[in-house]
Every structure is written in structure tokens, then in C-alpha cells.
Amino acid sequence: MAWQEACRPAVRLRAGGNASHMRPVTQNDLAKRYGFFLDFLSRRGKLNLAAAAGALVTRDHVEQYVSGLKDRVSSVTVYGSIQKLRRVTQLIAPEQDLAWLIEIERDLFSAMRPKSKWDRVVLAEIVVEAGLTLICEAEMTTQKLPKLKRARMVRDGLMIAFLAQYPLRLKNFAALSIGRSLVKTNGIWWIILTADQTKEKRADEREIDGDIGKAIDKYIEIYRPILARGRDAGETLWLVMTGEPMSQCFVGEVITETTRSTLGVPINPHMFRTNAATTAAIHAGHQPNLGSTVLHHTHGTVTQESYNRSTCITASRALSGVVRRYRTDSVLSRINGTT
């Protein structure tokens, strides 16, 4: 009841609850994380259903919860879980003193060690090429492939090529709808997202280029009907092999596994954004705002700090060139001296 009150939306001149300013996806995520904490207490027989809102968030319970998390998940997830537990508690029990919990949260932040992204940075043009190649293989292979498998290969290839060139957020990419968010005008496909569909609350419109556009045409005209298997698939772009719309979670799994099988590197959908920013910085350094514009960021610093991995790559290439040049010169000097 306390959480429902916190999420109560504002009505006319009446202010909403403490969490009413948050988007539904944020509210759901916070509720889920708090639910994990309650489940932890329940499995240990410490869940008192008669307790007041937030009363179960005690130092002893949280320390045990943190200890259990450290055995199962990364340091980043441990920090995120406690940070969100604190946020929910403040929303449902604002009068509660959580200074001790903030101290624990800060300690976890200091100990946090994010997983390196270097092993998953692949330039966008390589991923696009891999996706389009998969489509060609599906159509031109000499093996007698079932139509359904061929359609799945085309779908998977289109998904990674599409996302590599137009790195939308997974929520928007999975929800692409023919005639709504994916529109064809004068023979050209456009991505059209309204302000209420984007995280930044700004409209996002992008023209789709020839190769990806042709692949979309082919998928919609030939292979999507095969996946639909005679059913009315509606307007959803991505379909599973039973003709039903793909869930957001399954879209992420397909993209990760397709990049693993085609490139040897499992690239999750969010990593496509890092790859795009890095590609922009390496190939178009003279356009410093290109990466942030592609990712639809308001501030370029977000792109540089969280997504762009080009600096070390460029430096590494420069060093390799120096080493290669001087190594060659040294070899030639020895050869000439011997001669």
C-alpha cells in the first residue's frame, strides 16, 4: 500500500506520490529490486508481513543480503541492488533514518569494478557486414534449407545489421512497428519515434540507407510472412518462428547469440551503442558530436565518458605504426650493414 501510494500519479492540482515523477519502467525496476530483498528475507524466515513499510530494512538484514549477493553476482549488481533498495525505502518510509545504509552504499560503490567492454568492442561496419553476409548466405547457400530456417537467418542478419547502423535502445528496437515507428515514405524507410517513446523525451527520426532499406523490404515481403505461418502478425516487425511477436528479452538473446555465431564475440544490444560511438570517433573524428547525436544524447560528455572507446584504440594503432616503422628501419639497417 505504501508503494502504491508512492506511485500514485498527480491529478489536476493534487500532487502525486513520491515516485510519481518516475517512468513506469523505473518504478517497475525499483519494485522488482525491493521484491528480491523481501524474497531473501522470506527464504530465511525473517519476513514479517505485519511490519511497517520499510521497517525490515535494517542493518543486520542488509548486511546479510549483501553477503548473499556477493556470492552470486558482480560488484556492480551488488551496488545497484543496495542503491535501489535505499531509493525504495526512502520513497515508502521517508521518515526513516538511512544514514547507515548510505554508508554501506558508498562502500560498495568504492569497491565496484565494472566489467571491461574491450573484448566486445567491434566497429559498426564489421557488424553490418556480418549481418548482410548472413542474409546472403541464407538466400544463396547450396544446401537445401527449410524455408523457416532460411527466414530466421534473414531475420537475425537484419537485426544485427540494422542495430549496428541505427543503435536504438533495446526497448525501441524490439517494439518497432510497421507503419508506425518504421514508416516507408517515397520509397525510403524511416525510423520515427515520438517523444513519449524515447528515454530522452525527444522525438527521434532517422532515414534508413539503401542496403539496410533493401534488406527490410526483402524481410517484410518474403521472409516475415514465412515466420508468421499464415497468422495475422499485426504490425510488429520482429516475429518468432511461431508467428508471434518477439519479446524484448528474446530480441536481446537473439542479437547476442547471432553476433557470437557470426563474429565470435557475444555483443548484447546495449553494447551496440558503445560500438557506434567508438566507430564515429575513429572514422569521423572531425565531427566530435556525431557519436552523441547518433545515440540521441543531449550532452556529449555522456557519450565520451560511458560509450566512446576510441582513444585507446587510436593510440594503440598509432603505437603499432611507430613500432612497425622503426622495426622495419632497423631490419633494413642490419641488412644493409651486412651487405
CATH number of 118-308: 1.10.443.10
Q: Residue 267: which of 160, 166, 168, 174 has the closest Cα?
A: 160
Residue 328 has pLDDT above 60, yes or no: no
Written as nine digits, the cell of 109 is 560503490
Q: How far apart are the C-alpha atoms of 13 and 266, rounded to whole Å?
A: 50
Q: Tell me what pLDDT residue 14 has.
A: 86
Which amino acid belongs to residue 326? Answer: Y
Q: How far apart are the C-alpha atoms of 27 and 35, rounded to whole Å?
A: 12
Q: Tell me what pLDDT residue 215 has.
A: 95
Residue 301 has pLDDT above 90, yes or no: no
Residue 52 has pLDDT above 60, yes or no: yes
Residue 309 has pLDDT above 70, yes or no: no
Q: How far apart are the C-alpha atoms of 236 and 249, rounded to whole Å?
A: 15
Q: Tell me what pLDDT residue 141 has.
A: 72
Task: Tell me if 162 sits within 8 A of 217, measured CB to CB.
Answer: no
pLDDT digits over 210-233, tens only? Answer: 889 999 999 999 999 999 998 888
Q: Where in the chain is the domain with CATH 1.10.443.10?
A: 118-308
Q: What angle do CA 95, 101, 106 make, to 5 degrees?
A: 130
Q: What angle do CA 72, 75, 79 make, to 5 degrees?
A: 105
Q: Tell me what pLDDT residue 304 has.
A: 47
Q: How far apart are the C-alpha atoms of 151 and 154, rounded to whole Å?
A: 5
The pTM of the full predicted model, rounded to 2 decimals, is 0.68
Written as nine digits, the cell of 59 is 542493518
Task: Say if residue 97 is exposed, middle or buried (CB neighbours under 10 Å; 0-12, 13-18, 19+).
Answer: exposed
Least confident of 101-110, 256-265, 300-309, 329-338: 300-309
pLDDT digits over 132-172, tens only? Answer: 999 999 988 756 789 999 999 999 999 999 999 888 999 99
Written as nine digits, the cell of 84 is 535501489
> Where residue 250 falls among pLDDT bands split at 50, 70, 90?
very high
Q: How many CB atoms are closer than 10 A to CB 184?
A: 15
Q: Where in the chain is the domain with CATH 1.10.150?
A: 2-111
Q: How far apart are the C-alpha atoms of 82 and 291, rounded to whole Å?
A: 32
Three-state DSSP class for residue 207: strand
> Where residue 292 falls among pLDDT bands split at 50, 70, 90?
low
Give one DSSP letter per residue of 131-153, joined into a string.
Answer: HHHHHHHHHH-SS---HHHHHHH
- Phi, psi at residue 123, to the nearest 5°? -60, 145
Q: Residue 306: which of 284, 286, 285, 276 has the closest Cα?
A: 276
Task: Tell me if 234 sits within 8 A of 245, measured CB to CB.
Answer: yes
Q: Tell me what pLDDT residue 62 has.
A: 97
175-202 average pLDDT score: 90
> Where residue 246 falls among pLDDT bands split at 50, 70, 90?
very high
Which amino acid belongs to residue 16? Answer: G
CA distances for 185 relative to 122, 179, 194, 201, angstroms:
32, 10, 17, 24
CA distances for 189 relative to 148, 186, 208, 214, 228, angstroms:
25, 8, 5, 9, 22
Assign domain 2-111 to its CATH architecture: Orthogonal Bundle (1.10)
Written as nine digits, the cell of 333 is 639497417
Residue 293 has pLDDT above 50, yes or no: yes
Q: Tell me what pLDDT residue 209 has.
A: 82
Q: Hunting for cell 508471434 — which residue is that?
A: 244
Residue 12 has pLDDT above 80, yes or no: yes
Residue 90 has pLDDT above 70, yes or no: yes
